[in-house]
Amino acid sequence: MRRLLVIFALFSLFGIAASAQYVSDWNPDADGDNTIGVNDLLALLSVFEETDSDDDGVYNSQSSEYAADWNPDADGDNSITVTDLLGLLSVFEETDSDNDGIFDSQDDCVGTVDVCGVCNGPGPTILIEGSLVCPVYGCTDNAASNFSATANTDDGTCAYGPAQCGGQSTVTYDGYTYNLVGIGNQCWFKENLRNDNYRNGDAIPGDLDNDQWASATSGSQAVYGNNPSNLATYGRLYNWYAVNDVRGLCPNEFHVPSDEELSNLMIYNEGYEIAGATLKSSPTDIPPWDGTNSSGFSSLPGGLRYNTGNYSYGGTHGFFWSSSIDESDRAWIRILYSGTSYVNRYFQNLSVGVTVRCIRDTLALSVPIHGCTIIGACNYSPLADMNDGSCLIPDYCDFCEGDGIVFGDPDDDGVCAEDEVFGCTDNNATNFNPAATEEDGTCAYGPAQCGGASTVTFDGYTYNLVAIGNQCWFKENLRSDHYRNGDEIPGGLDDTQWSSTTSGATVVYGDGISQVVSGSADYIQNLALYGRLYNWHALNDARDLCPAGYHVPTAEEWVILADFLGPLTGGLTMKSSPTDTPAWNGTNSSGFSGLPGGYRSGVNGYFINEGETGDWWSSSSDGANNAWSRSLSSYSGSIFTGYSSLRDGHSVRCVKD
């Protein structure tokens, strides 16, 4: 090596590349004769702590293989130039074939490095979109865990297990093959350990009775309840001495997790309150437990063996050792329970036997973790160390469904879906909502007092509505023969039954064999014109006579109507006009469309006054045998208030709640 240093020093003198280790203030003309000769070169030896005691041109530390008669002026031109120094290479059996100032034995590339960084390479050879580019080697299968989005030439390294597991999906150890699962940046056995040998092949003592187990201070293993079926389901139970044995409980590149690594596992599974559900096998897994197993960890309730030797909690609790000791010389474990998602961090006696899961050594993770590395992306992965081109950028609504595509505003109206206010956006509708940003199809064009509705359908019939003042009324008399809940209202009562009943009843004017004192006995026509007549017990029934959102008006609500229209002339505005169909002798300017439907007497059951008066119930009684009613007459424009027997049959108009 010292031979090379001399030459590099000379190269430096003549502008040829040399190592930085040479003394920067060295004077090449050591003897000051203004000529660089052999004496000067020999003086150079001192720079490298070399001497030539006999002035024969050979370092004292070197053998006689060096040419004592070497002439530094190889070309005989009486000056030492680059040509002379290059000639010196042959003395040391060195060459510089590519004339780059670096000995071939030291040159990384004897020749030319192409634009792709390959020595004497062919240059770009991969054709992409009509252009030749340099090969980039890696896994090009995007289904592989180590897929490289930048590679254009597959190098045969594709791996299909979890990236955290170096692409492996299984590990075979002590004659059994374990499945692997990647969780967070960790690689775990997907099953409990079941080997009965240490890593070096030494047997782990087993088949210990309770006394032997209790007294053991070295590694031991057991199968829950000594039942071989439990070995197949839960693996083996190990005391902590086996976990801590230098011979190794887990296979190469794996180890028993530390307390910190188990804590990180809980963090990757949403914390101790939630992790139990995600770590436990699901009811549809084989074997099953009561979790969701969304993590793939597939935990099972393997139970434990107490330090007394007894077995407990099999089928209800899952225990896992850590390799970490607490301050009281007990070791940390994790406990999962049936019926809860909670995970308990607890310390346990070293002689207790619980299950073990192996975790991969961090340093063994040689395959990069591919994923989205852009902070702020919907699928940003803090574990990824190589971007795979999968980043999903949230839209302006912070909604994540695609790169640069607005999904949070599906109707593209500039309002995020979560901020939309649904309602009627038509300002011509009676229920127009100026705050609404999204039409919900509820626009109504009936009276505002009726919530925009112009009709109500009840018991198979559609009633028109009318707004009077701030009230919303049926524009027709009720004709339903059922209560709101669907129960039938009794009808067809003869005179005796009608005049004696104390429960709800209905009838059509002229129906049956009862006497019609005045008006038409055509009950079919009367039903179409006037609707039905009801006794007061029907409208007082808890099953309700009017549809949902409506009720029989109180006496006070009739007063409000009369006051709004005027009690002396309001009757005229409430009666249908001669041009209406059906007609009466009012103006109907209110839209109430009152008609002279008559009534049925509660005294004798007779039908009276069809064509002359219209009579309507209120829901207000006098607390005895009568209730308030309102009447309109062919002979007056007033609104009459009166008492009626609870057994009388009157028309009913419903009013909106």
**Is residue 632 located within the same domain as residue 506?**
yes
**Is residue 346 located within the same domain as residue 482?**
no
Q: What is the pLDDT of residue 7?
A: 40
**Is residue 172 located within the same domain as residue 65?**
no
Residue 458: pLDDT over 80: yes
Domain boundary among 59, 92, 125: 92
Q: What is the pLDDT of residue 170?
A: 92
610-646 pLDDT, tens digit each: 999 999 999 999 877 899 999 999 999 999 999 999 9
Domain boundary among 58, 92, 126: 92
Q: Phi and psi for 41 in degrees, rounded to 5? A: -65, -40
Q: What is the pLDDT of residue 274?
A: 92
**Is residue 195 located within the same domain as residue 284?**
yes
436 occurs within a structural domain = no
**Is residue 187 located within the same domain as residue 328?**
yes
565 occurs within a structural domain = yes
**Is residue 197 located within the same domain as residue 334?**
yes
123 occurs within a structural domain = no
pLDDT band at residue 4 using 50, 70 and 90 as cut-offs: very low
What average pLDDT does range 419-436 have in this prediction? Answer: 86
Beta strands in 515-625 (DSSP E): 533-534, 550-551, 599-600, 607-608, 613-621
Residue 17: pLDDT over 60: no
In three-state secondary structure terms, 245 is coil
143 occurs within a structural domain = no
Q: What is the pLDDT of residue 477?
A: 98
pLDDT band at residue 39 using 50, 70 and 90 as cut-offs: low
Structure tokens at 276: 């139990």
Rounded-to-integer distance, Cα 191 and Cα 214, Å:
27
The residue range of the domain holding 24 is 2-92
219-244 pLDDT, tens digit each: 999 999 999 999 999 999 999 999 99
pLDDT mean across residues, the chain: 85
Q: What is the pLDDT of residue 444?
A: 78
**Is residue 190 located within the same domain as residue 338?**
yes
**Is residue 474 located within the same domain as residue 601?**
yes
Q: Are 517 and 608 within 8 A, CB to CB?
A: yes
In eight-state DSSP terms, residue 286 is S
**Is residue 511 located within the same domain as residue 610?**
yes
558 occurs within a structural domain = yes
**Is residue 328 located within the same domain as residue 210?**
yes
**Is residue 354 located within the same domain as residue 477?**
no
Q: Indicate the range of 45-49, 180-184, 188-192, 272-276 predicted with least confidence.
A: 45-49
410 occurs within a structural domain = no
| Number of domains observed in the structure of the chain | 3
Domain boundary among 364, 380, 407: 364
Q: What is the pLDDT of residue 121?
A: 85
What average pLDDT does range 61-70 have in this prediction? Answer: 48
130 occurs within a structural domain = no
Q: What is the pLDDT of residue 65?
A: 45
Beta strands in 271-339 (DSSP E): 304-305, 311-312, 317-325, 331-337
**Is residue 308 located within the same domain as residue 199?**
yes
Of 595, 655, 610, the C-alpha closest to 508 is: 610
376 occurs within a structural domain = no
